[in-house]
Amino acid sequence: MAHDIARIVQQLLDAWNAHDGERAASFYTDDYEGIDVGQATPQRGASERIRILNSYVRAFPDLHFTGDVLVEGQRAVLVWVMRGTHQGHFMHIPPTGQPVEVKGVSVLTFRGDKIARGLNVWDTAGFLRTVGLLPEL
């Protein structure tokens, strides 16, 4: 089962990298519940994942993820890096044209072969520094 979950997570990354919201949403349960430190409210349902992906692609048209997957039971931990150029509004921040590299971790809980819960924690402060909204440390 661990091999299957790792393969599914890689396919999810491939869907994000293809900017294919419909395909990405197909990896989530209809009652998916997710927390993302960059979102004001929890995400609910697979269709919400389409909205999130589309908002990222509008902000970073060249969006691309890489990552490593660890699987334990019905959980996968994806340690990822997102790269792209900030060319659209993101988190109410106007485009800066800055290339960004954001690191994060997603903990994904599976029910069968679909993701039922997600926790996405990423370096929000690092992103804000890159676009000039926080001072360097």
Instruction: Classify residue 113: in a domain, yes or no.
Output: yes
Instruction: Classify residue 125: in a domain, yes or no.
Output: yes
Q: What pLDDT score was predicted for residue 114?
A: 97
Q: What pLDDT score was predicted for residue 136?
A: 84
Instruction: Classify residue 136: in a domain, yes or no.
Output: no
> Residue 78 is which amino acid?
L
- Our CA angle for 69, 82, 54, nearest 5°, is 105
**CATH number, position 123:** 3.10.450.50
Q: Please count the structural domains in the chain.
A: 1
111-136, pLDDT tens digit by residue? 999 999 999 999 999 999 999 999 98
The range of the structural domain enclosing residue 58 comes to: 2-130
d(CA 5, CA 114): 9
pLDDT, mean of residues 16-43: 95
36-68, pLDDT tens digit by residue? 998 889 999 988 989 999 999 999 999 999 999
